[in-house]
Amino acid sequence: MTAVVDRLNTEKTSFSVEFFPPRGNDEERILWRAVRELEPLDPAFVSVTYGAGGSSRDRTIRTTGRIAQETTLTPMAHLTAVDHSVAELRNVIGWYAASGVHNVLAVRGDPPGDPNGEWLRHPEGLTYAEELVRLVRELGDFCVGVAAFPHGHPRSADLDIDVDYLVRKIHAGAGFAIAQLFLEPEYFLRLRDRMAARGCGVPLLPGVMPIITPRVLGKFSELAGVPVPSEVSEQLLPLTDDPAGFRSAGVDLVTRLCERLIAEGVPALHFYTLNRSKATRQVVADLGL
């Protein structure tokens, strides 16, 4: 077993990548092209999301297992409590272990159909991510990660309460955390400060995404849960009708963000790839990782 925390425990900043499960054969070919193109760069780990509301569970399990069995990469599975009984969660965790997957990102997950809707616990399920962390740790020798929110979780009253929940997940057995997307480094750095003030020193990875098209820029708001910063919009929106110019400016913007984060000592950069590799490979090369 190769644990994510061991892969992060190096003197040099590394990087990791996140994929989502393909919805059909064409998307699966695109995903595996990206996997093979990134494999020689030796990312610290690769993760596969569970999909909105746990809807893509089977493809997530199958894709993560295939990465474990057919590549040299270190895979990390996503796991959510959405619409799952504890018995079902135990089965999924057992399948991961049998497939050689021993790194899990444990998140509560969003309500099916409406990420901002009311959370409804499965009658025989779990309510909080910290409970899911404990369950995974109880069932085997797993390295568990959790989600962190630089802008605060949408349901948290304020940033201090939000980080209290994060620390509880760490105390439940998580060994690292991955931050949701952001484009302003101060939000991430202040989150790290709040963790340190509570004596919580586990690795915190920033979530970044190369902004290569207007569609991807719009995707940022959806994934981060906050508006695009005005200075970013002012820089990129005038280039909407210039695809090459937009891509160049967007990649440069994210590269400069990563440079700031590396200067601040992050252990790794976590790239949301949207199942493509070219822009991520370009940023990684420009950073010398």
> Residue 76: pLDDT band by 50, 70, 90 thresholds?
very high
Q: Cα 287 from chain centroid?
A: 20
Return the active site residues.
Answer: 18
pLDDT at 53 over 60: no
Domain ranges in the chain are 4-287
Residue 135 near residue 90 (C-beta atoms within 8 A): yes
Outline where the chain has alpha helix (H).
4-8, 25-38, 57-70, 86-98, 129-138, 159-171, 185-197, 214-224, 230-236, 243-263, 278-287
pLDDT digits (tens, 9 = 90+) for 24-40: 888 889 999 999 999 99
> Which CATH class name applies to 4-287?
alpha beta
pLDDT in tens, 128-182: 899 999 999 999 899 999 999 998 876 767 888 889 999 999 999 999 999 999 9
